[in-house]
């Protein structure tokens, strides 16, 4: 069962439950991906449905845990980003192709 939100009108949003029959191997893969994102399988499946429905970005809210996980994923390889010298950020360096 996946919890979603059903919008009756612009002001009232009520939860909606959907039952989806999926193959065991699909359920196992969803479970693996949900665990990798640090969320339960229902929340992960709901986020995939919202993404597929093209819900506008402003209406999707991340939990604190999801935000922390996203930031951790972004920072995961930050140690591989080369350090740049201070001169790389000078006005002359940024605008050298402009007059």
Query: pLDDT (tens digit, 9 = 90+) per residue, 34-93?
Result: 999 889 999 899 888 888 887 665 656 778 888 898 898 888 888 888 888 888 888 888
8 with 23: CB under 8 angstroms? no
The whole model's pTM is what? 0.45
Q: Where are the domains of the chain?
A: 2-94
What pLDDT shows up at residue 10?
A: 56
As a whole number of angstroms, the distance between CA 86 and CA 57 comes to 35
Buried b / exposed e along 46-76 (16+ C-beta atoms within 10 A): bbeeeeeeeeeeeeeeeeeebeebeeeeeee
Instruction: Express each pLDDT in 20-47 by its tens digit.
Output: 899 999 999 999 999 998 899 998 998 8
């Amino acid at each position: 069962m996946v919890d979603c939100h059903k919008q009756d009108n612009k002001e009232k949003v009520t939860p909606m439950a959907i039952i989806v029959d999926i193959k065991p191997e699909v359920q196992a893969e969803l479970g693996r991906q949900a665990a990798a994102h640090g969320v339960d399988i229902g929340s992960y499946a709901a986020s995939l449905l919202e993404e597929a429905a093209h819900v506008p970005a402003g209406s999707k809210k991340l939990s604190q845990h999801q935000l922390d996980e996203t930031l951790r994923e972004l920072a995961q390889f930050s140690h591989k980003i080369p350090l740049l010298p201070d001169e790389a950020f000078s006005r002359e360096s940024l605008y050298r192709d402009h007059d």
